[in-house]
Amino acid sequence: MKIKFRCAPDLKAVLPPPIPAGRALPDWLRGLAMTEDIGTFDEDRTVKQCPPFIDTMTAGFVIPLPCDITVGNGQFTWDWDCQDSPLAFHFASQVAGTPFDIDNVSVPKFINFWAMQTEPGVSVLFTHPLNRPDLPFTTLTGLVNTDRFTDLPVHFPAQWTDPSFDGILEKGTPVAHCIPVPRETLDLEIGERSPQEADNAASLKAQISTIPGFYKDNFRRGDSTD
């Protein structure tokens, strides 16, 4: 699937580009052990051996933070050679009455400098970097018809969820996880399993529970997104 990204000419040399999500995995995942000792029960496999968990984090692409942002005493500052700010704020009134209203604090918005264009019939779901509760913010989720809205970038409102954070949010930190979504009408067929389907399910459950890597070896896609 082809996706075009365009930025202002004066930013091309300094702006980190969108990257496949598989290239933006956090250090804690890269350093995670494959198994964990659980004493009496020997050891257990960690999420690093869970293909759905990993495939979630490597799906689609991410938009990285364009520069370092220093956070301290409730203030956000930055230093980079661009006329436009990398961060803006919404009044808290925009989320008043919703679960996103945290103590009537203004809503930060990460500014994206990349306009994008997807193939006809394909939208993009923008959300928080998946399986990343370690980040001090939570990006709000939105869906945009990026095959039509192509001339301007999509920006990313967020909740600042860690008021104790004091330090630098580094350039390159993923601020939005982006998943292309074909626009198709859903046809939901609801029913119960046939006896054969029930037998298949029981057999599959036994194989997954007893054969290490069975799901990965038999059901995971072979193509890579990183």
pLDDT of 226 higher than 50: no
**What share of the chain has pLDDT > 70, as a percent?**
96
- Lowest average pLDDT, out of 33-37, 41-45, 57-61, 149-153, goes to 41-45
pLDDT of residue 40: 66
pLDDT of 38 higher than 80: no
CA dihedral (93, 97, 100, 101) positive or negative: positive
Angle (nearest 5°) at CA 160 between 29 and 179: 55
pLDDT in tens, 115-169: 999 999 999 999 999 999 999 999 999 999 999 999 999 999 999 999 899 999 9
pLDDT of residue 12: 92
Q: What is the mean pLDDT of the chain?
A: 92
Please, are residues 62 and 176 in contact by the beta-carbon 8 Å criterion? yes
How many C-beta neighbours within 10 Å does residue 44 have?
10
pLDDT of 224 higher than 80: no
The tokens describing 156, both together, are: 């990313």
| Residue given tokens 């970097």 in the structure block | 129
220-224, long-range: CB within 8 Å, 24+ apart, which pairs? 220/51, 220/55, 221/55, 224/22
Secondary structure (3-state) at 28: helix
pLDDT of residue 222: 57
- Reported as a pLDDT band with limits 50, 70 and 90, residue 25 is very high
The tokens describing 61, both together, are: 């692409």
pLDDT of residue 139: 96
pLDDT in tens, 71-119: 998 899 999 988 899 999 988 888 888 888 777 677 899 999 999 999 9
Structural domains of the chain in order of their starting residue, each with its CATH number: 61-183 (2.70.40.10)
pLDDT of residue 225: 44
pLDDT of residue 97: 87
pTM, two decimal places:
0.89
pLDDT in tens, 2-22: 999 999 999 999 999 999 999
